[in-house]
Structures are given as structure tokens and as C-alpha cells.
Amino acid sequence: MPEAYKPQVIDHLVRPRHAGRLEEPSGMGESGDAACGDVATFSVLITENRVEEARYEVFGCAACVAAGSALAELVNGRTLLDAARVSKADVEGALGGPLPEGKGHALTLVLDALHKAFEDHWSRTAGAGLLDGYANRGEIGAAGVVAAMSGGVDSAVTALLLKEAGHDVAAVTFRLHDGEKGSRSCCSPDTVLFARDTAHRMGLPHFTLNLKELFDKRVMRDFVDSYEKGRTPNPCVSCNAHVKFHAAAFLADRIGFRQVATGHYARVAEGPSLARPVDESKDQTYVLWPIPKELLARAVFPLGDYRKTEVRRIAEDRGLAVAYTPESQDICFVPDGDYRRFVRKTVSAEPGEVVDREGAVLGRHAGVVDFTVGQRRGIGVSAPTPLYVTEVRPKSKQVVVGRRRDLEVREVLVRDLNWFLPPEEASAVQVRYNGGPVACEVEGDGEGGWIAHLQEPVMAVAAGQSAVFYTADGGRVVGGGVVALGGE
């Protein structure tokens, strides 16, 4: 045994605590790689949010075995929240101090196995509930906030501000897809570990929810289907509509907390309704319109009162490692930004014709999934004046092109609406994330949809985009919906 190991390490090797595996656990988790020589498994029995029993099995070096024993001893009999708060520093302390050089991975390994067991517990608890949509099915607690933590500076500062304001805070990271290791994706494997470590350094309990199936069903499939049908989707909108807030509410209900928080730049106003943030350059109300009103009533957006520069400064002043992390990418599940390649992995695109507005054939294309309304580059035909995609017709496999003025619209049909305020308060509409609101008047179409009559034309409005309505002063969201074609 190397002399560098502390007596506490030796003690855990000679007298292991809670070794073995539960036969009927509430959750099981494994971390490591047999090829590398270290594998840790935790099984837990959880009753009424208490870790009644936790057992470990570790195959690998002495440091990993001792760390598994120390962690099992630390969490046995504790509340689930206290167990989820146990950090690498706590395990290190139980082992008498820093491990020998090159052995620090043992702490990450065993903690990851334990947290995967908790993750499995939540998956078993949720069952198919999250897939079917979740909202306030449990008893809402009297206090406490579940803060979604993606691994970036915004979500970290959100959790920190809530803690400093005196709230009981539990952090949660969503495992949404198999993000590439080391990528900037908000839910890559590395980011889950980073978010957990960030939460623990703040003294917060941290959980992970496996939402891969839900995300695939509600976001990724919708993304691919939309392009196949000639529409332009916004996956962030779909994620907010069906995944993040529902999952955070699920966890809050299970641990007895009342509110949910994210790092979005927005505010909750009376109604409840959405209101624009102080930093209008970071305004994210456009992608939040689908949040069900009953969930918005439980939501808090601490960053709504701050500017991005202030958020970075807070992270720097508090010594958070996330202070200098780059902005996350636009589409988290398309790491290289090539959404066409991503769609083509699933869709068998068929070639078709590029035609003008009169139907004259100007050329050929390799598949309608490669085109969106307003597109100018990559059309594949030449003309004396610039051509833009004005329409995508999946059924006939045609891509219609025209001049820039052919993209102008003065009426927008909107369906699948979610209203926070009475529709008659809608005085302006915004049809793309980076666009601005345009004055309008709205009226029902008699079939559940609404028509926005624009006071000035808007360019390149595509089916599938979000249309978000604002009050006359532009400060509050009245409601939002999905842009539809006239015949839909």
C-alpha cells in the first residue's frame, strides 16, 4: 500500500462500509469504464425522500474502493436532499484529505455512480408521466426553488442569487440527448459533471433527470418532422413548451418545493404573464410563450432584473468557474451547426424542382429539407436579380423562389395559442427571435386560430415559426402561437 494514502483510506479498505448491492433498489447507477480499470456501482433504497440504504461495488484502484466506502457511509440514512449535497470535498475530507496525485478521479467516479442511481430513481418515479406532459400533479410545497442548471454562467448565477436571497435551492440538470463529449452543448456528459460540481461548490444539492426519451419525442422528432413538412421550427420553444418547466415542476413536487427557476432573461408579471427583462438585448420572452399559465405561476427568473455584464461580474466576484464560459450554441443537439445534415440522418430527402411563382422550372434540388423561407444562398439556380425561397411544397417536392418583395406579408395566421392576457390586449407581434415587434390588430379566424393584421409588411414569415403578441407598450407578452399556412 503506497505511503501516500492516509490512515482513513486504509481504514475504509480494511473495514469497508455498506459494500455490496441491494436486491430491490429504488435506483441503480454505474460510472467508469472496465477498459480503463475503474468501475463504480451504487444501489439505493429511497423511502419518503430519505436514503434508507446505499450500497456500493467498486472494481479498480484502492482510491476508488475507499472513496466508494466513504461516500456510502456519508449518505446512508440521510435525507435525499442532504445526500445530493455531498460533494467531492466531503468525500475527500472523509478520506483524511487530498488523495495522491493522479487519484482524484476516484471522487468523481463514485459521486457520478451515486447520482446516476438517484437519476434512475427519478426515472422510475416519473414513469410515463413526463412523456404525457406534467403539470402540478403532486402537492406543491410551501417553500423552496428547483433551479435548472445547464453548466453555463446564467443558470449558475440564477441558483446563486436565489441562495443568497435566502431560498432553499436544489439544482437540477437535464440529460436531454447524447451530446458529444467536450462539446458546448448544454447537456453533454462533461457538462453534467461540471454543473454538479458547480452546484456542490455553492453548497447546493444537485440532481440529474434523464429526459432523453421526452426530448426525442417532443423536440428532436418535431424538429425533423417540421423540415420534412416544409416548416421552420424553433427547438428552444418546443423544449420550453414540453420539457424543461414540466420536468422542473415534477422534481419540485417530489421534494416538496414550490417554485422553479431558470436562467432565462425574462420576468413574471401580474396575471401571471411574461414581461421583458431589464437587458432587452438578451430578452428571451419570445421562446417562453408556450409555458402553461399554471407553471408560469410557479416560475421565477432572477436574471430578469440584471444585465448580462452584471451576471458575468457576479460570477467573477463569487469565484465561479463558469464566469468565463462561452455562450451556448443555438441548437444544443446539433453540435456542428449543420442542421441539414442532422435532418438528413433521419429523413430520406427526395429531389425535386425549383420553380418560380408562375410554376416555370428553373432548376433541380436534392430535397426540400435543405430549404427554408427567406433563404438566399444555396438555392442552386442563377438569375439576373437575387432569388429567395418564398415557399416550400413538400407534397409536390417543389421549392418556390421569387424576388425579395415577394417575401413580404401583411397577415399572419397563428394557431395553437397560449394566452396569458386577454387577446384584445395584443397590439404588436414578433415572428422571429432576433426580430422586433410590429404593430398589428388581431381577430379570430372562427376555427380556433387568430389572424394578425400587420400595419407594415414583415419579411420571410415561415410556417412553424413562433408568433408572440405583446402589449401596446411592448413590455408584456399577451400570448403566443405557431405560424400556420392559410390552408392548414
* Catalytic residue numbers, as ranges: 239, 332
For the chain, first and last CA: distance in Å? 73
Contact yes or no for 114/205 (Cβ under 8 A) = no
Task: Specify the 3-state DSSP secondary structure of 404.
Answer: helix
In whole angstroms, give the CA distance from residue 164 to residue 168.
10
Sheet holding 361-365, edge to edge: 361-365, 352-355, 398-402, 388-393
Of 7, 2, 134, 146, residue with least CA distance to 61: 2
Cα angle 470, 295, 166; round to 5: 105
Strands in 22-78 per DSSP E: 27-33, 38-47, 50-59
Specify the residue for cell string 480499470.
Answer: 37
Pairing mode, strands 299-300 and 257-261: parallel
In whole angstroms, give the CA distance from residue 86 to residue 320.
19
Contact yes or no for 397/469 (Cβ under 8 A) = no
In whole angstroms, give the CA distance from residue 199 to residue 323.
14
Of 134, 88, 110, residue with least CA distance to 32: 110
In whole angstroms, give the CA distance from residue 387 to residue 464.
22
* Beta-carbon count within 10 A of 306 CB: 21
What would the DSSP string read from start to end of 451-485?
EEEEEEEEE---TTSEEEEE-TTS-BEEEEEEEE-
Contact yes or no for 453/411 (Cβ under 8 A) = yes
